[in-house]
Chain A
């Protein structure tokens, strides 16, 4: 090794040129073992090693190290992950037909839903005078806080958007890292939310115990008012959002009023709608459009007036004032002494028309007792259509079973999409569901705690979007619970599996069984409740484990990796130099 070589690396040459009466250095030894020395140097190294036991041992050790490395690298220590196996399926055969089928099924389901439920309801409401601002539009598509919903006019559009979003996620997921897809989705949602926000300026008022808009004060734009008591004597030229214990509107609101309050009194003028979540709502003033309220008690006092329709989910409804159009009431006790411009559709315990009541449209009442009509009451159409509430009648109705099947199919379809979109997370959730105690415990916490937390977040105004997002997530989890539990039930019957499609098969069987069991009177209700607890807990546990560092896949080598060879396997027999 003492000749000057034409090696490209001078520093190596320096070492390789050493006379062979000295020991081989490790670099020379490794290059020799790897077959990277030129012929002449290899011969010199070999000649030296034949006479030098130390260098022979070194070369043998280096060769064994190379073989150990090769063996360690080539061993099949873990199978192809199911995610990649699923990707393989997609590569091997075109899955377009499956997505076509899913989208087709989804479209069919949505169409059935629309024509079966939504359209007849809308037509019914329109006939009853709810046209233009139907309760469905009011509740679903004119969301209380986000005006962007107003551009989404139909359920079909929403469903189409969801389907497209799912397809896009699926498309991106195959081509991008999960984190990138997630980031894009969040960015997209943020962008959508920001572009849909109202163009007018929004003002926030939180001045301790009392927030007051004085008589001569005008707020241009929307107003968020938060305090113990809110009093509006001036003008709000926009929407008014109230989060307080008591609220008095004495002045003028040109937009809508959205109220979360214990007591809401309207003595002034509201040009838009009122949507309230209160204990008591009292209308003495003038509401130009509609009233939608979830409350304990609602009173439209004389000379109060609601120009549009009234939709209530309350315990006690009293109308002494005037309602321009129809009344839709899900209510315990209803007493009417005022003037109703349209008809009444009510369901509840009692309905009473006092002397002085005037109703210009038809009255339909579904309740436990026939309505009481005072002799002084003026009803345009008599007699009042009354239907006695018959509990459990639905079980005798064939339509109930048809729709039960349709909804079961919808749940299965939803589960199928989830399993294909998030196979690993779906498996993790099913695994979590097998930790029964933790799942049920967490389920109780999530089922009751999350809505409360979301509501508190909404009240703090700053956390409004977070609160609403949390609530939507909670609702989604609620829906997914039966998919998770259905999969577990399927596994009980058909055995455990890790394969996505086999897991989907078990989910289908399990969901069908659950839906059948849930129809059993009395027991079904408890089963449904248990499913909610269990499923929500399992999903929450899986989310928790996913985002907890100790449970993520960040560990470089799986601790449960099955070694294909016995422990302490060493490389082969000694190798002659």
Chain B
């Protein structure tokens, strides 16, 4: 799991469980920026991300007693955030969701490696983040869970409600969508050789 780069806040969690406001403040201070960035990448607007961040920490107050201290706190927190963001996205119809369940059309063709290589090489982080906004909600969510919070395939499957083996399909399709968005050219979306 990707963490905000701090040691496990065992003591703060114990105090927070006891209702210590100072401990809550400490947890919020340490983890809110990371959770906000997670929500910022997963949700369409900045305001959504702000709302979601606050709501995640509200939920946290109710769920803190369920936290198993033998597991990394940040990982657990990301799961709560992912769960909340995915629920938010599913409830809404913000954008025409391109996503279908047509996993049978999984493109497994051998891509043109040199073309793919060039496509990736030319892209910056800023462009990638901008392109995220063009993705379908599941693709976006999958990429954020995998590459931001480093969630395992099992955890992603759990959050998205798909079989574990299907996570690879979701991620690959998400990468295709991302390439398509980056390139603005559907011809490159199918792995570079379509």
Per a CB cutoff under 8 Å, which of B113, B144, B163 touches A73? B144
* Shortest Cβ gap from B40 to chain A (Å): 7
Flag whether A23 is at the interface (Cβ < 8 A): yes
Q: A91-B57, A92-B22, A555-B45 are in contact. Are A84 and B120 (CB under 8 A)?
A: no
Contacts of B57 on A, CB cut-off 8 Å?
87, 91
Task: Annotate B46-88 by CB proximity to A: 1 below 8 A, 0 otherwise.
Answer: 1100110111011000000000000000000000000000000
Whether the Cβ atoms of B126 and A68 lie closer than 8 Å is no
- Which of A69, A78, A93 touches B22 (beta carbons < 8 Å)? A93
Known: A30-B175, A565-B125. A78 touches B40 (CB 8 A): yes
Alpha-carbon gap, A5 to B163, bound state (A)? 17
Residues in A neighbouring B33, C-beta threshold 8 A:
76, 79-80
B89 interface residue per 8 A CB criterion:
no
Contact A92-B165, Cβ < 8 Å, known A68-B128, A557-B129: no
What's the Cα separation between A332 and B35 when bound, in Å? 67
Are A61 and B110 closer than 8 Å at their CB atoms? no
Q: Which residues of A contact B169 (CB under 8 A)?
A: 12, 27
Counting chain A CB atoms within 10 Å of each CB, the highest count among B25, B28, B57, B126 belongs to B126
Q: Which of A9, A74, A175, A554 contacts B45 (CB 8 A)?
A: A554
Please measure, in the bound complex, the distance between the C-alpha atom of A7 and the C-alpha atom of B76, giving whole angstroms. Answer: 28
Contact of B147 among A26, A30, A73 (CB under 8 A): A73
Q: Does A200 sit within 8 A of B, measured CB to CB? A: no
Q: How far is the CB of B134 from chain A (nearest CB, A)?
A: 8
Contact residues in B for A78 (Cβ distance below 8 Å) = 40
A66 at interface, CB cutoff 8 A: yes
Q: CB-nearest residue of chain A relative to B175? A: A65
A65 near B120: Cβ-Cβ < 8 Å: yes
Q: Which of B41, B104, B172 contacts A26 (CB 8 A)?
A: B172
Measured between beta carbons, the chain B residues less than 8 angstroms from A74 are 2, 37, 148
Query: Does A220 sit within 8 A of B, measured CB to CB?
Result: no
Cβ–Cβ contact B168 & A36, under 8 A = yes
28 CB < 8 A contacts A-B: A9-B163, A9-B166, A26-B108, A26-B109, A26-B111, A26-B191, A30-B175, A31-B168, A34-B168, A36-B168, A54-B110, A54-B113, A55-B113, A61-B116, A65-B116, A65-B120, A68-B120, A72-B128, A80-B33, A81-B36, A88-B28, A91-B21, A92-B21, A93-B25, A553-B45, A555-B45, A565-B126, A570-B120
List 17 additional contacts besides A69-B128, A556-B130; criterion CB under 8 Å: A7-B165, A9-B163, A27-B168, A30-B171, A57-B114, A69-B175, A72-B147, A73-B144, A77-B37, A80-B36, A91-B28, A91-B57, A174-B54, A554-B45, A556-B132, A557-B130, A571-B121
Closest 9 pairs between A and B when the two form their complex, measured CB to CB: A92-B25, A9-B165, A556-B133, A57-B113, A72-B128, A73-B148, A72-B125, A25-B108, A69-B147
